[in-house]
Amino acid sequence: MDDEELVRRIASGRDEDAFRVLYARHTGAVFGLLCRLTGRAADASDLMQETWLRAVRNVSLFRGQSAFRTWLTGIALNCYREWRRRHAREIPSIPPDTHIASLLAHDEAAAVQQILACLAPEHREVIVLHDIEGYTHEEIADALEIETGTSKSRLSRARRTFRERWRAASEPQVRQ
């Protein structure tokens, strides 16, 4: 059964089996996205729960103009942005290139995550959505409620900043 049919079944009668199928189909991907954005599984788990609560409450608003995954991702991104605003003072500010050079030698994935954490939130969002999650610019525009051109320009700037930080971490440090 496709997502739109499952959504119709949930909206019309609160079909638990349909919900379970949608939940199993989309939670892993959206949870992974939230983990990459927050940097912490516990926070991502809380946001995932809030995402599904909002999705179920508002399932009748899903019109099928985009894929269900895109719609759900939009809700998750809104939850993430609200969380980020509420916890702005608690989120550790990681100085660029801190420990990244040592991570590069041992754990490249951790180094990537560290550099992502240093990016501006709008750059982190678009690079995670496009380069890691595989969303198209049209899907990103729908999820972030921006223009497709804005998605493209943000991605270009995000990649440039990421490359600059990667190079800086990769170059041997000159001691004086």
Dump pLDDT digits (tens) for 18-47.
999 999 999 999 999 999 998 889 999 999
Q: Specify the pLDDT at position 112.
A: 85
Q: Check the CA dihedral 41-46-49-51 and report its sign.
A: negative
Angle at 126 (CA atoms; ends 121, 131), nearest 5 degrees: 130
Spell out the domain ranges in the chain. 1-91, 95-176
For the domain 95-176, what is the CATH code? Answer: 1.10.10.10
For the domain 1-91, what is the CATH code? Answer: 1.10.1740.10
Average confidence (pLDDT) over 71-88: 92
Cα-Cα end-to-end distance for the chain? 65
Q: What CA–CA distance (Å, rounded) separates 164 from 138?
A: 27
Dump pLDDT digits (tens) for 129-168.
999 999 999 999 988 889 999 999 999 999 999 999 888 8
Structure-model confidence comparison of residues 174 and 51, the more confident one: 51
Dump pLDDT digits (tens) for 53-73.
999 999 989 988 888 999 999
Do 1-91 and 95-176 show the same overall fold?
no
